[in-house]
Amino acid sequence: MNDCVHITTAIILKGDKFLVEKRRSDDEVGPGIVCFPGGHLDSNETLEECIIREMREELGIIIKNPKFIHSDIWTTSNGEKAKLHYFIVNKFEGKIKSTEASEVYWESDINKLSTEIDKEAPRKLKL
């Protein structure tokens, strides 16, 4: 798909909660939204390599055995088309820290997520 960017997104689980990030108010795309952590696919990597790299860069953690769930198309707040690739993560190593978002925290209510596309992924998993 050459007409859109590819983004990997992690649903990191801990008990009955999942990790979310609140984007900075000065972010170019989706300022201030609450969403799952993730990032853009580099041209030389697989989706799995991307999600592992992004979680290391953005959260300082090493995720173990990310499991692909599904992909969906989304149009960002700046009009960019993106194909989001969702992964479920049950295991990780390291202490979570926010390096890009204004904050990261554990949430249990999918309705606190800002976008319908992010709300849909946990529904498919019946979270």
Q: What is the CATH number of the domain that holds 16?
A: 3.90.79.10
Whose CA is closest to 58, among 7, 16, 121?
A: 7
Strand partners, 8: 39, 85
Q: How many structural domains does the chain have?
A: 1
Q: CA-to-CA distance for 69 and 122, rounded, in angstroms?
A: 10
Whole-number pLDDT of residue 75:
85
pLDDT tens digits, 90-118: 999 999 999 889 999 999 999 999 988 89
Instruction: Tell me which H or E stretch contains 49.
Output: helix 47-59
Range of the domain at 104: 5-125
Whose CA is closest to 81, among 1, 5, 2?
A: 5
Report, as ranges of residue numbers, the positions in the chain whose pLDDT lies below 50: 1
User: Contact, 32 vs 25, CB < 8 A?
Assistant: yes
Whose CA is closest to 12, among 46, 58, 44?
A: 58
Whole-number pLDDT of residue 46:
97
